[in-house]
Structure 1
Amino acid sequence: METRINFLENGKDALKTLYPVGGYLAKSQLGKSLLDLVYFRVSQINGCAFCLDMHSKDLRAAGETEQRLHTLNAWREAPFYSDHELAALDWAEAVTKITNGNIPDEVFATARKQFSEQELIDLTLAVTTINTYNRINIAFRPPVGTYVVGQFN
């Protein structure tokens, strides 16, 4: 697909408004590997090729296995994820795919067992933030495959 607007270059000032959120989340108790896993899964749901390229590279650079990356789309059936990760993925999907203005009580209850109030707040912020990035990238179509690990740090 052809790039519509070079948002990475021409939207730098707009993107800068999101950077403090990333800085805040980087200091959260969630940890980079869980955040990247959630970012990758939400990007799968939304079909954001740029973010899938970026987060798969970040995950692999941090030691994530190919097996877990390749089965993430079917995480419910795969035995490779911890209860903590499963709860995060379930929460991320529910927040991303809000249906009828509702997140099921059982999804919240499972997430609440795995995460403190602050962690769940931070996880929700992470999910809404990657959804924002996905929508920007899908709208403007930056060139996919150009991301280099650490490029936006």
Structure 2
Amino acid sequence: MQARMKNPAYVLPAATKGIGGFIQAINEGGISHELQELVALRASQINGCSACVQAHVHNLTKAGETTERIATVAAWREAPFFTDAERAALELAERVTRLADRSADSVPDALWDEVADAFDEKQLSALILVIGLTNLFNRLNTTIREPAGTTWG
């Protein structure tokens, strides 16, 4: 399979610059690279972005993440491999990604309290940004049919 076109972020170089700013901010937010990848993987699974799912699995493997944790991200509620903070972050990723499915607040107060207890404001900002940016990437890649195995950079 071949993409329909070059990634729009590369066609319009100012987009690449803006994305780079987001990534820099996320990396300054104080959350681990592994947590960034876990929530990005979950959002990408929900959105059906094969290129992103494959990339996040690759990044997690490269970072030394266990097979058990990577394999059970889609079923994190039933898996014993995640901390309370990671569970709160994964729930936030699901809620923010599934905006169209909501019938009430996208992020209920109880979940907000959980993530706010687990992460300081800087970390929570980075977490929200990584979830939002992942959803952007998912939408770009699924629109152009970016195939799994694509590398960016």
Question: TM-score, with normalisation over the residues of structure 1?
Answer: 0.89
Cα distance in 2 for residues equivalent to 1:9 and 1:91: 26
Percent identical pairs in the alignment equals 36
Q: How many residues align?
A: 149
Matched, 1:132 2:136: yes
Name the amino acid aligned to 2:4. Answer: R
Name the amino acid aligned to 2:123. Answer: E
Matched, 1:59 2:60: yes
1:72-151 equivalence runs, <5 A: 72-98=73-99, 99-100=102-103, 102=105, 103-147=107-151
Q: Is the 8 A contact 2:8 2:140 kept in 1?
A: no
Name the amino acid aligned to 1:131. Answer: N
- Which consecutive aligned stretches of 4+ in structure 1 deviate over 4 angstroms post-superposition? none
Cα distance in 2 for residues equivalent to 1:73 and 1:107: 19
Q: Give the structure 1 partner of residue 3 of structure 2.
A: 3
Q: CA RMSD in A?
A: 1.8
Cα distance in 2 for residues equivalent to 1:119 and 1:9: 26
Name the amino acid aligned to 2:25. Answer: Y
Q: Is the 8 A contact 2:41 2:57 kept in 1?
A: yes
Cα distance in 2 for residues equivalent to 1:65 and 1:12: 37
Name the amino acid aligned to 2:79. Answer: A
- CA shift for structure 1 position 64: 0.7
- 3-state SS, counterpart of residue 113 of structure 2: helix
Q: Is the 8 A contact 1:8 1:142 kept in 2?
A: no
Question: TM-score, with normalisation over the residues of structure 2?
Answer: 0.89
Name the amino acid aligned to 2:31. Answer: L
Q: Deviations over 1:58-80 (max 9, x none)?
A: 10000011111111101001000
